[in-house]
Structure 1
Amino acid sequence: MKTLKKLACTAASLAIAFTISGCSSLDSITGGKRIIRISHAQSESHPEHQGLLKFKEVIESQLGDKYEVQIFPNELLGAAQKAIELCQTGAIDFVVAGTANVETFEDSYEIFSMPYLFTSPEAYHEVMNDAEYMEKLYESTDQSGFRVMTWFDAGVRSFYSTKKIETPDDLKGQKIRVQQSPASVAMVKAFGAAASPMAFGEVYTAIQQGVIQGAENNELALTNNKHGEVAKYYSYTNHQMIPDVLIGNTKFLDSLSPEEYDIFMDAAQQATQLELDEWEEAAAEATDYAKNTQKVEFIEVDIEKFRDKVIGVQQEMIDNNPKITEMYEHIQKVNEEYENKEDAE
């Protein structure tokens, strides 16, 4: 682990040094190619990494004489918040992070941390795949030095713990890791638990050492990040659907010719499509492995009991952040459309 951290620091330092020294230094080292660095938190087997490999493939197949894409998984260039800061400065070019990390720069993104915002994965995908609608939100961080290119499905978030969670009362007294989002903290507090925001890479050790009892995430966290080795109960509370997003440094994106920019955008869309295609199968495989190999117990719960506990959190978010009102109303319309379809069937 120490060796990996040293490598991460070295890689990040090199990236910063390259940025400061300018393109001429890069040209002399890479034979004229501009190195594109992408950071993310997942393993090489994760659907997001597979999506980024597609991104790399598309860029290099069409612009390989000018660009070489390098992908750094497993937080090798730092945890998400640090990686976004490096992307802001141009030390790295792209990073995949959760919208909970982005909301610290643009509070419109807080909408995605709202518990039970979407009533179905279908409604969630409908909203996120509407690129024209999402464009305004994606460009809202330009002044912060980065722009969202596309989204990745990060599944449906539920609680997992060293203790059984069958009702909201079972969360009382537990310390639960959440993303660094005020809304997620408020949600966990509404359930009666203590919220512990921390970097994703710290969760395994924190559960193992008893610093926290559990966390909340999708099924892949149990296997790809080995959390199922230390947390043996996964409860389908389905409380959030928070996308991950591919963020690009604005200065770099603005330096591209219109033709190059279109290729990067097409690469991003192809990356999303591949990731979406991979996600469902990967989640099913993770569930099977967690259940049969890691011996994780999966628990179905009465979701309405959990939903009722956080109605106040939803209203408080709307009252305190007018920026999210329009999108909240838009999402409710999409939710209603899909609920009507289900009723008709």
Structure 2
Amino acid sequence: MRTPKVVAALLMTCFACGAFAQQKLELKVSEIWGDDYPNTKALRHMSEVLAKQSNGRIDPKVYPNGTLGSEKEVIEQVKMGALAMARVPLNLLNNICEETIVPSLPFLFRSTDHLHKSLDSAVGQEILSSCNSKGYIGLAYYDSGTRSIYAKKAVKTLADTKGMKLRVQQSDVMVAMANAMGANPSPMPMGEVYVGLRTGLIDAAENNWPSYESSKHFESAKYYSRTEHLMNPEIVIFSKVIWDKLSPADQKLIGDAAKESTTVQRKLWAEREKVSEDIVRKAGSIITEVDKKPFQDAMVPVYAKFVTSPRMKDLVKRIQDVK
């Protein structure tokens, strides 16, 4: 039989839990892009939805322009719980959550429609959930367009990339991809690319239309060659340290708001791609078509290196089978 003191202690514990569940949650959200970028707008939409549905109790604050650090830095902050949420490229998690390598593989997705259907399916959710044990809650995927190479010369064939100093994201898959093209990979943060192109530290970079335009990279690399080698999604991650302290109801609110924001982000992204392409064309960028088949064939060693386990092979096949 429980004594009055035990009962009182239990009541106090329950009260404390309830109090935590009902206290105001001020959540820091990191984004490297500016206020007018689709990702930032989508994160702000998510924040507004959460504030409204919680009557102001959940208060996410979006910090754009890399205020809280580079994408690689904020990944560590999220894991420690110093930061609640961030939008980061999926491939920066490749060395942390192995399954995230799969959507980061070159030439995996046939189209934007195939990308969306794959990520919205059970296989996409499984890849998100694979980060749970590593300290991250994967909330949602964001579009990051189709990546192509831009340089001071046109890239029309695989031979054109031989020996090229190509900036890639700080990712083993991206380095392997560049090597498979015959290029010399130069991993560096996005913020260093502009100077790298201007000074000749790198010959080329690869990215999507909005990044090419908004970063002003087109000023130094006017040839945009449609290699379209990658549709690497981005991911909104939440700190598991903080997540585990939330009530199931708050977890659901945050998860639902993040998924709702993907619809906003995809729409804004599609619109921004068209605007960005138009801007760089008018500024004098030269858009060139590429013979993609040799590039695709060159990726065989990349898949052989990273898709080694039955689990990884199954994920790749299931994505490839999505119609």
2:115 is aligned to 124
Runs of 4+ in 1 over 6 A off after TM superposition: none
Which of 269, 282, 287 in structure 2 is aligned with 1:298?
Answer: 287
For 2:244, what is the secondary structure of its paired residue? helix
Structure 2, gaps ≥5 residues long:
1-22
Tell me by how many angstroms 1:91 deviates: 0.8
For 1:196, what is the secondary structure of its paired residue? strand
1:62-77 equivalent positions in 2, closer than 5 A: 62-77=53-68
Contact 1:106-1:141 within 8 A present in 2 as well: yes
1:231 is aligned to 221
Q: What TM-score do you get using the length of structure 1 for normalisation? A: 0.84
Tell me by how many angstroms 1:43 deviates: 1.9
- Taking the aligned partners of 2:260 and 2:99, their CA distance within structure 1 comes to 26
1:41-80 equivalent positions in 2, closer than 5 A: 41-80=32-71
Contact 1:107-1:323 within 8 A present in 2 as well: no
1:135 is aligned to 125
- Taking the aligned partners of 2:206 and 2:132, their CA distance within structure 1 comes to 30
- Taking the aligned partners of 1:117 and 1:166, their CA distance within structure 2 comes to 21
- Taking the aligned partners of 1:296 and 1:237, their CA distance within structure 2 comes to 16
Contact 1:228-1:296 within 8 A present in 2 as well: yes
2:302 is aligned to 313
The number of residue pairs the alignment matches comes to 301
Task: Kindly report the root-mean-square deviation, in angstroms, between the aligned alpha carbons of the 2 structures.
Answer: 1.5
* Amino acid paired to 1:86: Q
Q: What TM-score do you get using the length of structure 2 for normalisation? A: 0.89
For 2:34, what is the secondary structure of its paired residue? coil
- Taking the aligned partners of 1:205 and 1:265, their CA distance within structure 2 comes to 38
Matched, 1:327 2:315: yes
Structure 1, gaps ≥5 residues long:
1-31, 338-345
2:255 is aligned to 265
For 2:131, what is the secondary structure of its paired residue? helix
2:234 is aligned to 244
Deviations 1:86-114 (A, max 9, x none): 00111110011111111121121111221
Task: Tell which structure's C-alpha radius of gyration is larger.
Answer: 2
- Taking the aligned partners of 1:156 and 1:192, their CA distance within structure 2 comes to 21
Matched, 1:94 2:85: yes
- Taking the aligned partners of 2:110 and 2:124, their CA distance within structure 1 comes to 19
Question: % of aligned pairs identical?
Answer: 31
Which of 147, 150, 173 in structure 2 is aligned with 1:157?
Answer: 147
Deviations 1:235-279 (A, max 9, x none): 111111110000001122222222222211121011101001111
* Amino acid paired to 2:301: G
